[in-house]
Amino acid sequence: MGPFRRQSERPLFCEMKKDSIAIIGLGKVGTAVGHLLRRAGYEIVAVADRSPDALERGGGYTGGTISNDPLQAALPANSIFITTPDDIIESVCSDIAQGGGFGPGKRVVHMSGAGGLGLLESARASGAQVATIHPLQSFVDIEGVIESIPGSTFSITAEGEVKDWAVHIVRDLGGIPFFVSDADKPLYHAAACMASNYLVTLMNMVEGIYRHLGMEDEEAIRSFWPLVRGTLSNIEGRGTEKSLTGPIARGDSGTIRKHLKVLRETMPELLNMYCEMGLFAVEIGIKNKTLSEDRAEEIRSLLKGVSNE
């Protein structure tokens, strides 16, 4: 079986006592996760952040003793969630370990999408069990995260008996767990960034074209959003491959030539992106058998000709 393994829907650990939890880092994710775990019956014993504003804003959601000292927050907890920015997870974990905040019987989790278990090595060396848990979701504001996390898929990277505990935590957050190997976490996160961040970037490019045509921002979004919403609905119901429509899917090279000409003349900064995306679309069209190999090769030549200029 590959690195992605969905867990069965069979309830686990109905009898398990709820952990006492510390949240280290009260950004959007840490605050929302603390709030949802508290709502699920866990005791949030302490929260920590270097920012007084974050503590004031997040503490009301999570409860627990507030502190600007991660070690003091970690000491009374059975399970410690390090939800700081990715680039300081390792140093925060190390500081807590050096202060004696970890040990046998404790669990330490970080929620970075790309980071692996190595960021928690100091906790593991102290005798704690370690895991990473990451919700496949975008985070704009705290209320939005609280609303969107339930029903989301979570990646879990863990070894040994802590794996079952991590599954239980994800289910108590309302999530759907699956395992990702430590080595595959960057690839998993790259896909997440493409699905969210690059979708936003693509929509911004589309918006830019409509602004070029004279629309205001809100008018532009209102104009293309029904098309986007319909496409997303098609993907959800039929999958990505069966949802491809348009000139490449039907082998309409004449329309592709018109697109290339107008982009070259008016918005050349979008030309390479159009061509690179088009080359991937050609392969989908071939898989769907809506695009013949002859037509596909003609369209490939048009698109590669631009990208090689």
What is the pLDDT averaged over residues 71-79?
A: 97
pLDDT of residue 1: 39
Distance CA 194, CA 222 (A): 23
Residue 47 has pLDDT above 90, yes or no: yes
pLDDT of residue 15: 43
Specify the DSSP element, H or E, that contains 130.
strand 129-135
Instruction: Give this prediction's pTM.
Output: 0.87
Give the other-Cβ count within 10 Å of 174's Cβ: 15
Eight-class DSSP state of 268 = G
pLDDT band, very low/low/confident/very high, at 50 (cuts 50, 70, 90): very high
Rounded to 5 degrees, φ, ψ at 247 are: -65, -35
Tens of pLDDT, residue by residue over 153-166, are: 999 999 999 999 99
Q: Which CATH superfamily is domain 5-180 in?
A: NAD(P)-binding Rossmann-like Domain (3.40.50.720)
Distance CA 99, CA 139 (A): 32
CATH number at 189-307:
1.10.1040
Residue 10 has pLDDT above 60, yes or no: no
**Common-topology check for domains 5-180 and 189-307:** no
Beta strands 5-6; 176-179: pairing state: antiparallel
Q: Where are the domains of the chain?
A: 5-180, 189-307
pLDDT of residue 45: 97
Tens of pLDDT, residue by residue over 208-233, are: 999 999 999 999 999 999 999 999 99
Q: What is the 3-state secondary structure (H, E, C) of 169-230?
A: HHHHCCCEEEECCHHHHHHHHHHHHHHHHHHHHHHHHHHHHHHHCCCCHHHHHHHHHHHHHH
Amino acid identity of 206? V
User: Which among 232, 234, 214 has a CA at the least distance from the CA of 223?
Assistant: 214
Look at the block and give the residue holding tokens 């999408």.
Answer: 113
